[in-house]
């Protein structure tokens, strides 16, 4: 069983909704809808295993390139998720934080996000960090701009100053990054924060993600030796 050496923070690249749907001759959006259901499951599993932080890559700054129908469909799914799950999330002790330029979404979505962030801010059972309109390079650009605006001198800037100006500085670096659907790359996700993260790739598509997949990932993580550059 998963008792010791559980990661404090898991980050997931939820990939393969479209392919999962295509294999079943369903529209891509149906795959995304199934994907949202797995978000709920994975939050429950994290709480069960005492994982304190969960980051989910839900919409990248590159995802705007998809057809408008899919982008709109995704926005509606986010809205629906916030509508349906807000109270449940609060009751369960989950705190919502968001990483990314989500202020570029429409006003209604931004307001819903802000409201749930505020209403859940005292929760501490699980921090759910949703990466929305997120790109790691843009995050570093935004951090650099914030640092310059504050008037830091070049010699004052060190790693901790950069970390403190990322979108959610209170979220620690991920211990384990999982990517579903067999792709093996980071795709502009948490490039700074992933410096020492363990990576785990599974062939399962995101709509197939379940307890067993998570347990496999946790078991593999448990046996890895993290050296952080030491011996």
* 63 assigned to active site: yes
52 contacts ligand FPP (rule: CB under 6 A): no
Contact residue for ligand FPP among 53, 81, 102, 105 (CB under 6 A): 81
Half-sphere exposure of 166 (CA within 13 A, CB side): 24
C-beta separation of 197 from 180 below 8 A: no
58 contacts ligand FPP (rule: CB under 6 A): yes
C-alpha–C-alpha distance, residues 95 and 116, integer Å: 8
Q: What is the 3-state secondary structure (H, E, C) of 69-82?
A: HHHHHHHHHHHHHH
The DSSP symbol for 195 reads G
C-beta separation of 207 from 16 below 8 A: yes
Q: Which two tokens stand for residue 157?
A: 């800037």
Contact residue for ligand FPP among 35, 100, 135, 174 (CB under 6 A): 35
- The backbone torsions φ and ψ at residue 107, rounded to the nearest 5 degrees and listed phi first, read -55, -40
Contact residue for ligand FPP among 2, 7, 18, 189 (CB under 6 A): 18
Q: How far is the CB of 34 from ligand FPP (least distance, A)?
A: 8
Interface with ligand FPP by CB under 6 A: which range of 28-36, 93-101, 152-160, 189-197? Answer: 28-36
Q: How far is the CB of 195 from ligand FPP (least distance, A)?
A: 24
Between 63 and 188, CB nearer to ligand FPP = 63
* 175 assigned to active site: no
List contacts with ligand FPP (CB under 6 A): 14-19, 32, 35-36, 39, 56, 58, 63, 74, 77-78, 81, 130, 181
């Amino acid at each position: 069983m998963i008792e010791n050496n559980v990661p404090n923070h898991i980050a997931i690249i939820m990939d393969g909704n479209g392919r999962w749907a295509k294999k079943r001759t369903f529209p891509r959006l149906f795959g995304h809808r199934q994907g949202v259901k797995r978000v709920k499951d994975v939050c429950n599993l994290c709480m069960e295993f005492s994982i304190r932080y969960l980051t989910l890559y839900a919409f990248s700054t590159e995802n705007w390139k998809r057809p408008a129908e899919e982008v709109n469909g995704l926005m509606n799914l986010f809205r629906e998720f916030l509508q349906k799950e807000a109270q449940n999330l609060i009751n369960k002790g989950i705190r919502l934080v968001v990483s990314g330029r989500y202020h570029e979404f429409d006003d209604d979505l931004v307001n819903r996000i802000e409201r749930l962030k505020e209403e859940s801010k005292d929760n501490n059972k699980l921090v759910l960090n949703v990466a929305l309109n997120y790109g790691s390079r843009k995050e570093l650009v935004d951090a650099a701009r914030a640092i310059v605006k504050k008037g830091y001198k070049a010699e004052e800037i060190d790693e901790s100053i950069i970390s403190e100006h990322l979108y959610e500085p209170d979220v620690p670096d991920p211990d384990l990054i999982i990517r579903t659907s067999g792709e093996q790359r980071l795709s502009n996700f948490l490039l700074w924060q992933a410096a020492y993260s363990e990576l785990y790739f599974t062939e399962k598509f995101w709509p197939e993600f379940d307890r067993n997949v998570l347990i496999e990932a946790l078991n593999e993580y448990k046996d890895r030796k993290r050296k952080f550059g030491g011996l």
